Chains A and B, each alone.
Chain A
Amino acid sequence: MSLRGETAVVGVGLTEFGGLPGHTHMEIMAKAIDKAITDAGIHKDEIDGIFSANFVEMLTPLTVAEYLGINPTYMDGTNTGGSVFVNSMQSAAAALSLGLCNVALICYGSNSATGPFTHPPAMHTVEDVYRPRNPITPYALAANRHMHEFGTTREQLAEVAVSARAWAQLNPAATMRDPLSVEDVVNARMIVDPLGKFDCCLISDGGAAMIMVRKDRAQDFPKKPVYMLGVGSRTDHNLISCMPDLTTTAAKEAAAAAFSMAGVTPADIDVVELYDAFTINTILFLEDMGFCEKGEGGAFVSNGNIAPGGSLPVNTNGGGLSCVHPGMYGMFLMIEAVQQLRGECGERQVDNAKMAACNGSGGFLASQVSAIFGTQETL
């Protein structure tokens, strides 16, 4: 059986972004869960599936179950890094479709801006000894290789940050809303060449939660259901030195699987949400998912093409670069897709958006999980 259209998102919740001082990650998560169950019009006791992971504890689904005072029939604490919630969404769709749970909660909370500093995890002694500045260096290595092979420029990387900022200026919830130019990005302090300060995502506090059910119940909730049409998950390394080709990510195969399940092509997509931890990500994923040819991503993102008013709306909340990035952003890009398809996005709303494509990235460009969402009429 295909999972196409079998499940739908019926509730989403986002906290405020930026700094939420004095809160634990679980408290921030609870704020988001409260908003998601209110959005779905359900009671917390209806939740019987929990999907959650983060960087600061091992047994997150147990913590969430205890905190909410529920006894779920299905739990998933898989951790694939920042892609995990798109991966969780695949697991939730499968578990719901098999009747292993009936109301799935996918949730995340982080106090990475104001909470205790946590060092990036050790990777492997064969890399750690050189003190690569993770997570930035792996992306700098990918960017440099892309520049070498395809002539991509720092100005083109900067266009990604500038477009994200232009979307953020239309999103009252976004953290960074001051004007930003290509010159600002290119002339900013270098962090790990060829990536400067504005090529790197924010560090935020923030929480997000999502409620999913089977299609047979999708109409029973106050908000317009948004259906999961396709999903694909792949990974081709963990250490950056083990990535087969630094200019092509596993999103190529993940997106092909997601588009195949959905029975659509990139030309059918109205709005795109990608994990932009660094500017190079957006270029890589647009290429790998088939929105442009390999090597043409730099030109594709130029001249405002992915900014408001461009031909392809990408990262319409402002992305990890300008809206919010609490460490594992995959949850936020799916929620922006859902809100665009509901038509709830105010000034940044993409007209007549019916189908959205997402790509979550985990580890250092390692785990790639693509998903296609659609409105009722796309079923």
Chain B
Amino acid sequence: MLELPAHTEHLKDDILAEQQNNNNLENPGPLQTFEENLAKGEFRIQQCKDCGQHVFYPRLLCHHCGSNALKWVAVSGKGVVYSSAVVRQRPEKGGDYNISLIDLEEGPRLMSRVVDVDPEEVAIGMQVSAHVGMINDKPAVLFYNKEQGDKEW
């Protein structure tokens, strides 16, 4: 159901009609699709049908070649730590945690956390694998240094 701010409520019929005209657009948009996949436990990224390169974060346009033909694909989940930092936090607030940039085997780099080793033990060049977990009550891609099961993405 279309939720509109109160001051635009009188435009609702026009906006719904417009939406019908635009039904060639992917609906929902790529970012929401990504998040819906995560909520189902699936980590999918986009690949460009024209240049073949992978795209992350999710976009409507390929930032490599400009094509608008992007498809959703599964990933190996394999990655390497490109850089890493330790956010210092008081124990009563949850303690220190790791923030890393991970280079996926498919090419894109993303921010995440490596969660199965001490934050300061996360090293550049470390091999990691992706799993969908929960962080701050939201589904998110997290990384483990050791293989966790044999889940296929």
By size class, the interface of chain B is 20 to 34
Known contacts A124-B57, A129-B136, A129-B140; A241 and B109 CB within 8 A of each other: yes
What residue in chain A is nearest B89 (Cβ atoms)?
A133
Q: Which of B2-10, B67-75, B110-118 contacts A (4 or more CB under 8 A)?
A: B110-118
Count chain A residues whose beta carbon lies closer than 8 angstroms to a beta carbon of B: 27
- In the complex, which residues 297-328 of chain A have their Cβ closer than 8 Å to any Cβ of chain B? none
**What is the 8 Å Cβ interface bit string for chain A, positions 189-215, against chain B (1 contact, 0 not)?**
111111000000000000000000000
Query: When the two chains form their complex, are residues A126 and B83 in contact, meaning their CB atoms are under 8 A apart?
Result: no
Query: When the two chains form their complex, are residues A141 and B85 in contact, meaning their CB atoms are under 8 A apart?
Result: yes
Q: In the bound complex, how far is the Cα of B124 from the Cα of A133, in angstroms?
A: 19
Let me know if B99 is at the binding interface, CB within 8 A: yes
Query: When the two chains form their complex, are residues A241 and B85 in contact, meaning their CB atoms are under 8 A apart?
Result: no
Q: Is the interface of B mostly helix, strand, loop or mixed?
A: strand
**What is the 8 Å Cβ interface bit string for chain B, positions 90-110, against chain A (1 contact, 0 not)?**
000000010101000000011
CB < 8 Å: which of A142, A189, A241 contacts B110? A241
Query: When the two chains form their complex, are residues B88 and A190 in contact, meaning their CB atoms are under 8 A apart?
Result: yes
Known contacts A141-B101, A145-B83, A246-B82; A127 and B88 CB within 8 A of each other: no
Query: When the two chains form their complex, are residues A126 and B57 in contact, meaning their CB atoms are under 8 A apart?
Result: yes
Q: In the bound complex, how far is the Cα of B55 from the Cα of A241, in angstroms?
A: 13
**What is the 8 Å Cβ interface bit string for chain A, positions 100-125, against chain B (1 contact, 0 not)?**
00000000000000000000000011
Let me know if A43 is at the binding interface, CB within 8 A: no
Let me know if B87 is at the binding interface, CB within 8 A: yes
Let me know if A144 is at the binding interface, CB within 8 A: yes
Residues of A within 8 A of B136 (CB): 129, 131
Residues of A within 8 A of B83 (CB): 141-142, 144-145, 148, 246
Query: When the two chains form their complex, are residues A133 and B140 in contact, meaning their CB atoms are under 8 A apart?
Result: no
Query: When the two chains form their complex, are residues B111 and A130 in contact, meaning their CB atoms are under 8 A apart?
Result: yes
Query: When the two chains form their complex, are residues B86 and A129 in contact, meaning their CB atoms are under 8 A apart?
Result: no
CB < 8 Å: which of A125, A142, A192 contacts B86? A192
Shortest 10 CB-CB distances between A and B: which pairs?
Answer: A140-B85, A193-B86, A145-B83, A141-B83, A241-B111, A148-B124, A126-B57, A127-B111, A129-B140, A133-B87
A/B interface sample: 8 pairs, CB < 8 A? A126-B56, A127-B111, A130-B99, A130-B112, A131-B87, A141-B83, A192-B86, A193-B88
Given contacts A131-B136, A246-B101, 18 further A-B contacts (CB under 8 A): A124-B57, A126-B57, A129-B138, A130-B135, A131-B87, A132-B99, A137-B87, A141-B101, A145-B83, A145-B124, A190-B86, A191-B88, A192-B85, A192-B87, A193-B86, A193-B88, A239-B111, A241-B109
